[in-house]
Amino acid sequence: MNTESRRKQFEEIFIQYFPKARTFAAILLKSEQEAEDIAQDIFVKLWEQPNLWEENLVRNYLYTMVKNHVFNRIKRKNIESNYINSQINLSSPEDMTEFKDPLNEVYLEEMQLLLKLSLEQMPDKRRQVFEMSRFEHLSNNDIAEKMDLSVRTVEQHIYLALKDLKKLFFIAFFFIKF
Amino acid sequence: MENYFNRIIDLFVKSDVSADSQVEFQRWLTEEKFSGEKEKALRGLWDNMEKSNSAEASSQTRQSLRKVYKKIKQQRKVNIKFLRFWQVSAACLLIALLSILYSIHYETPVNADLIEQYVPIAEMTRFTLPDGTEVQMNSTATLLYPAQFNGESRSVYLIGEANFKVAKNEAQPFIVKSNDFQVTALGTEFTMKVYPDDPLLTATLLSGSVEIKFNNMESSLILKPSEQFTYNKRTKEETINHPDLHDVTAWQRGELVFKSATLEEIIPVLERKYPYSFVYTASTLRNDRYTFRFKESTPLQDIVDIIVEVSGNMKYRIEDNKYYLSPLSLNR
């Protein structure tokens, strides 16, 4: 393959797949800069292997490479920050959502993480009220006083939070079995 | 199709999360537990992402392309400086390859096109040859074979490591060729390892019987089941051992096994299995011999952690897909 046709072919693949590779890394790492670095390194390697430039091969190859690079970055970061394997001691999701799932124990870690991520999506007030109620075990009256809300509003917040979470867990639970 | 795994990844990808949750999510994602389910969910995410359909690149992509070209150029300079040895061996290999290609063409009818099967770094592949022979290939291995075996023999050319379960056909012997080394089999299973950067060529017979030719095809011998033949290209020494067959086939299960191996022998194996390279000075690696057994899909960092810990005289840092190994200074 002469240099010019090799370049042309490489650039076609680059234009199609570079943004995809970069975006995939960026959404997992939540860092545009790191994602850009990873994607560049992978394409430097790809340049050396023209036998992989075929549509199907390149798609699988890029996925594996991006995933491996992202995982390695994450593991390195975890070691660098001396991250200690601390279990966020949430009460069990079952207590919190009153949703019983026989697989709760198997997927405990998944459920806790799902819960944590979902809580962060709630409006601030609702999340605060819910956390006070379930993590700090305050009564609705105490919460109302602390937050300067009516007891009824507190009850309403808790009800809505529970409804959100139940829906979330139910959907996840329902589909995992089928 | 949704489940906990899809749901968590979906939620993480779509929303702004706290720094704390980010660390937690990433740790969860890379944990071994349920790695199959996580892999499936990640793969789904990748497949659902659109590739760019416009032929026009955005200015951002153009800029990235320029940087990639710059890196390719820089890498070439490094290669020329430090890898003169590999160039020489690659040149030798090319000559051997051409001569063997010629001999394969010569023996097989003219219309038989050669097919090349290549396995990238960090992957493995399993496939069936046109005659029904099952081949499993290790990372960075290359196999050349004709689209149809209709000569007097079934000849293929191998660079790297592969296992062959040969389909029985006594009228047409199965021959794996490599640089001045070849194995002829009838119906049999054997594993062969011929990496250009490794002076040791090995062939291990699991069942049946094979004939090995080596030393520019001047010497030959017949291997019995569970025997391993090793030939050193540099010293021309030949040996026959009886290794643990479970260890010989470990790579086919994704495991890594080293038996009283020096780091100089271990590092090229790691470099083939993982998309990382190692940078070190000769004095960093001592001649100590190590025995390690790593289970399937152990992360490279865990392996290096263990090696560094066991050696007790090294430290490492990672930069741009490279592990830099350096001696541990004693006066800390």
Over residues A80-94, the pLDDT tens digits come to 655 444 444 444 555
Taking contacts as CB-CB distances below 8 angstroms, the residues of chain B near A121 are: 11, 15
Is the predicted pLDDT of residue A39 greater than 90, yes or no? yes
Considering only CB atoms, A51 lies closest to which of B7, B8, B118, namely B118
Cβ contact (<8 Å) for B65 and A72?
Answer: no
Q: Which residues of A touch B42 (CB under 8 A)?
A: 67
Domains and their CATH numbers in chain B: 2-246 (2.60.120.1440), 254-331 (3.55.50.30)
The shortest CB-CB distance from A16 to any of B7, B51, B276 is to: B51
Range from A36-45, A97-106, B76-85, B198-207 that averages highest in pLDDT: A36-45
pLDDT, one tens digit per residue, over B146-198 is 878 877 888 888 888 899 988 888 788 899 988 668 888 877 888 888 887 77
Q: What is the interface size between A and B, counted as CB pairs within 8 Å? A: 157
Position with higher pLDDT, B82 vs B23: B23
Q: Does A152 touch chain B (CB under 8 A)?
A: no
CB distance B275–A74 less than 8 Å? no
Using a CB-CB distance cutoff of 8 angstroms, which residues of chain B are in contact with residue A110?
4-5, 8, 28, 34
**Cα end-to-end span (Å), chain B:** 55
Looking at residue A84, its pLDDT comes to: 46
Asked if A118 has any chain B CB less than 8 Å from its own CB, the reply is yes
- The pLDDT value given to residue B122: 74
If phi over 0 gives left and psi between -120 and 50 gives alpha, with beta otherwise, what is residue A104? alpha
pTM: 0.47
Q: Which residues contact B282 (CB under 8 A, 6 or more apart)?
A: none
Is the ipTM above a cut-off of 0.85?
no
Residue B52 and residue A61: Cβ atoms within 8 Å?
Answer: no
pLDDT in tens, A126-164: 888 888 888 788 888 888 988 888 989 898 888 888 887
CB proximity list for A132: less than 8 A, separation 6 or greater: A138, A142, A143, A146, A147
Mutating which of A110, A115, A165, A171 best tests the B interface, going by the most B Cβ atoms within 10 A?
A110
Is residue A21 pLDDT above 80, yes or no? yes
Nearest chain B Cα to A168, which residue? Answer: B7
Chain A CB contacts of B25 below 8 Å? 113, 117
Q: Which residues of A touch B300 (CB under 8 A)?
A: 72
A103 touches B330 (CB < 8 A): no
pLDDT by residue (tens digit) across A40-76?
999 998 888 887 888 778 888 888 889 888 988 887 7
The answer to whether the Cβ–Cβ distance between B7 and A71 falls below 8 Å is: no
Q: Residue B101 — left, alpha, or beta (φ > 0 → left; ψ -120 to 50 → alpha)?
A: alpha
Burial of B252 (0-12, 13-18, 19+ CB in 10 A): middle
Asked whether B259 and B269 are in contact (CB, 8 A), the reply is no
Does residue B108 register a pLDDT over 70?
A: no
Cβ contact A74–B29 (<8 Å): yes
Taking CB atoms within 8 Å and a gap of at least 24, the contacts of B88-96 are: B89/B196, B89/B197, B90/B196, B92/B179, B93/B159, B93/B179, B93/B196, B96/B178, B96/B179, B96/B180
Q: Is A31 on the interface with B (CB under 8 A)?
A: no
How far is the alpha carbon of B211 from chain A, nearest alpha carbon, in Å? 32
DSSP calls for B246-277: HHHTGGGGT-EEEEEE-HHHHHHHHHHHSS-E
Cβ contact B195:B222 at 8 Å: no
Sign of the Cα pseudo-torsion (A130, A133, A134, A135, in order): positive
Number of continuous H segments (helices) and E segments (strands) in chain A: 8, 0
Pick among B1, B46, B59, B83 to test the A interface (most A CBs inside 10 A): B46
